[in-house]
Structure 1
Amino acid sequence: MRASRLVTLLLLLQNRGRMTARQLAEELEVSVRTVYRDVEALGAAGVPLYGAAGHAGGYRLVDGYRTRLTGLTAPEAEAAFLAALPGAAADLGLGEALATAQLKWRAALPTELREHAGRIQERFLLDAPGWYGDGDRTPHLAAVAAAVWARRAVVLRYRRWRAPEEIERRVEPYGLVLKAGRWYLVADGPSGIRTYRIDQIIELRPLQEEFTVPDDFDLAAHWQDHVAGFRARLHTGEALVRLTPRGAHRLGVAPVGDGWTQTRVPIESIDHAHGEFLRLGADIEVLAPAELRDRIAETARTLAARYEE
């Protein structure tokens, strides 16, 4: 465990520059006293690092020092190649760079790990878009990515679902998110931090104005909160239903025995649930709310009469 922690500490200093003992302790999830001992161990092993006291102090490596680690495990090498999304990299204009980087990385790996990484690429493929779509047309994605990287503001002309359907606003692009084959921009604007679908951007005008992202902003945490809020707003009601084993499986409900399963499921609205439940055909019976049950019964009567004709 300690050897792994020493390597992690070394890489943290190599990649981030100066770090205080407390910062290192938080990253490594150890005490500050343990960090002091680890730093002494690295120094005794010949790693050229030094510490400075005071407000601007901390530990750092001597300028120009870089370690070459060949201690990657097979699962780590496999995961690194599996994590690369060629489609996403190509969307961002980085497809060629990704391919080149993988070639360099593969060449630097020991023979055994190189074979492991090669098998991953031969046997696993990550395809982000859903079945019934090829992803979105995103002609402005590269420009948005450039603005995110350079921390420069942009002016968007954007299409949205509510009136006015077209808006124009100046925003500060904080980050990009790829969700189920669709790209989203998280940006700060007149109404605070908002999420924009890249394929709904009609026009984009980059500005020369630079901005600073708040220190307490975390893209992953923000997106997680956004998704949780979206789901909470989406499912504002519930329905009481009976499901056959097949219906329970299709709806993602754990069946009870081999017969009908009665359960409550969240619904977005009567209209939305009406369409979704009709897809299950005879594998579902809606018990409540009464309005939804009546709507589905009326649709079933209409369909029966139509097919009898």
Structure 2
Amino acid sequence: MRADRLVATLLFLQARGRVTAAEVAAELDVSERTARRDLEALASAGIPVYSQPGRGGGWALVGGARTDLTGLTAGEIRALFLVAGPSSAGPELRTALRKLVRALPATFRTGAEAAAGAGVTDSTDWSGTAVTVGAHQLDALRGAVVDGVQVRLGYAGPGRPATERTVHPLGIASKAGIDYLVANTDRGLRTFRLGRVTSVGVTGDPVARPDGFDLATAWRSLAARMEDRMVAATVQARAERSAEPVLQGLFGGRLRVGAALVDGWVEVEVDGPSPEILAAQMAGLGARVEILEPPEARERLASLAAELATLYGTPSDRPGR
């Protein structure tokens, strides 16, 4: 244990440049007498540590000598703080990361602190479907966030071909296994699902970072807006009991099961982006679900039914057959 404490003392001294025994004691949660003994032990062991008595004195490394005792490369440090940054870590991990930042050589410290604020994790699920992104694209985006440079992003929206745009990467958020890039754009802060990113080109131009930007705070605001869009409409329906597990898998927390009906069916309500989208999502259950309200959802189902009947009906029913 003392060997560990001596290493921690040296790292603390290295990070601060000059320390007092009282400061070491407070940092390592030991008595001031123990801290002074440890500092003296470092000097006796040949570490270039010296003490200076009097007001403004303390302990320092001779000539500002530095020792990289972490054994980590710059890339390893950046990866560690990206994965376990304080934006999403628990209190114990945040404390450990703060200590590690103080222990790092100055040349590594800035990149580590930038990486620590470059990611946030949100565990609530929206879709239940995780989409992976290419490792090289994810690395490129993470590097752009840490380095503070703009990227030329190829992105394909739902049902649309890929287009390119220049964005200012500010962080990466993970929600239920799905990664999102948070970026500044000419239309303000936006999110981009990494599973829809088709290319990443680093421009080298510096990002325009909003004043006082904090990734965790920005993500909460953006997530709230996305969630509002996802529950903008409600469909009321009745469903067979056997359809409940399927509906639960489709809609998760957006499904509410109501009273049981006399015919063995149940009342259900589902929230979604629009009545038409909800109708299309529920169409696969066929006659096991009957949408009751709103009229737009019923009309969309009728339209889908007519299209499917035309496409898949008997040959005599099809146009030109």
Q: Could you tell me the TM-score, scaled by structure 1's length?
A: 0.49
Q: Which has the higher contact order (CA 8 A, sep 6+)?
A: 2
Larger radius of gyration: 2
Q: Could you tell me the TM-score, scaled by structure 2's length?
A: 0.48
